[in-house]
Amino acid sequence: MSFNDPKLEDDISDKELFDKAIVFRDEGRFAEAITIIEKLLPKYPENAAIFSVYGHLNWELGNLKKAIEVFQIATNLYPVSEIISLGLFHTLWEDGKREGAFKELKRFMSISYSNDYMEIVRELNNPPARPVD
């Protein structure tokens, strides 16, 4: 019986579906994980964890614009989540939106603390020396 079998889905709780999406994500089966998450999103429009996973999956597939959109929703739902904030920061950075990335870093650091953000700031302020030829 395949996972797409409607009878199987009827027998699995939403929590089990979410857990299955996480397993798929961890196995690198991103498109399959997205299919599951997209079924859960309408039922849980205020669940930051589901949006965070959805953002990460889109990032993994190179859908940066969608990942940014989703991470922004997740950040609005749970503004003190370091992992969500970092997901948004890195996705913005990768998409060339450095100003937006720094805005997110500053937003998060104004309400919480992050060792990861502090390390990023240190690295940006002290770039490694280039080797001399």
Please indicate, yes or no, if residue 132 is contained in any of the structural domains. Answer: no
The pLDDT of 27-43, averaged and rounded, is 97
Q: Which of 58, 57, 52 is nearest to 80 (CA)?
A: 52
| C-alpha to C-alpha distance for 93 and 57, rounded to whole angstroms | 17
For residue 63, give its domain range.
6-125
Average pLDDT, the chain: 91
- Whether pLDDT at 79 is above 80: yes
User: What does the block give as tokens for 45?
Assistant: 């429009």
pLDDT in tens, 49-69: 999 999 999 999 999 999 999
Q: What CATH number has the domain bearing residue 37?
A: 1.25.40.10
pLDDT in tens, 92-132: 999 999 999 999 999 999 999 999 999 999 999 997 777 77
Helix pair 48-60, 82-94: axis angle to 10 deg: 30
- Whether pLDDT at 6 is above 60: no
What total of structural domains would you count in the chain? 1
Q: Which residue has the tokens 């904030």?
A: 85
Please indicate, yes or no, if residue 131 is contained in any of the structural domains. Answer: no
